[in-house]
Amino acid sequence: MRYTHVGAGIGLVLGALGLQVPAAVAADGSDVRINPWSASPGSTVTVSTTACGPDVDYGKGWSEVGGQFHLFEGDHEGVLTGQFEIPEGTRPGNDTVTLKCPPRIKITDTYRVTGRPPSGSVSAGFGPGEDRGMELALGGALLVGAAAGGVVWMCRRPNGNRT
């Protein structure tokens, strides 16, 4: 009976992993590379593609957030590369990039716009984050008190209960 449950569990896990493989293969086969895939407002996003073919040396791109940009030959043959900047104040979410190159090739891909990382300290109710003296003194006093309580507790226990 146990082997049936174990076999069913292993079968479910392998089935779930098997369903993930086609999505992973499709994601790796994309002709568009967006770097960084997760960008914050104010950063520059670089888009490159090999979908236009080795004989094409120009293309156009459009981002919902960044607007229009141009694709030119990159460092490698057959690679078109373009850049655009994410404007300050852009809200987090997904952005779609559309690339067009002759003859009638149109590709879309998405990337993630993240929020601006926090700068400075977080107010947690004990005053500003720069004032660390009080917190350090209070934390030290609590540690010393706990250590002293442990020593007193160990000394007051009878000898037979010590292990």
The tens digit of pLDDT for each residue in 93-120 reads 898 999 998 878 888 998 888 876 666 6
Domain-located, residue 37 = yes
The residue-averaged pLDDT of 2-14 equals 62
Domain-located, residue 26 = no
Domain-located, residue 101 = yes
Domain-located, residue 9 = no
Domain-located, residue 5 = no
Evaluate whether 125 touches 134 at the Cβ level (below 8 Å): no
| Percent share of the chain, pLDDT over 70 | 67
Q: Residue 94 is part of a domain; what is its CATH number?
A: 2.60.40.1930
User: How far, in Å, CA of 153 to CA of 143, rounded?
Assistant: 15
pLDDT of 24 > 50? The answer is no
What is the residue whose two structure tokens read 């790796």? Answer: 28
DSSP state of 123: P
- Cβ neighbours of residue 22 closer than 8 Å, sequence gap 6 or more: none
The residue-averaged pLDDT of 136-146 equals 90
Q: How confident is the model at residue 6 (pLDDT cuts 50, 70, 90)?
A: low
Domain-located, residue 125 = no
Domain-located, residue 14 = no
- Cβ neighbours of residue 2 closer than 8 Å, sequence gap 6 or more: none
Domain-located, residue 76 = yes
Expressed as residue numbers, the domain containing 46 is: 32-113
Report pLDDT digits (tens) over 71-93: 898 777 888 899 999 888 888 88
Report pLDDT digits (tens) over 25-41: 444 446 888 888 888 88
**Number of structural domains, the chain?**
1
Query: For the whole model, what pTM was predicted?
Result: 0.53
User: How far, in Å, CA of 144 to CA of 62, rounded?
Assistant: 62
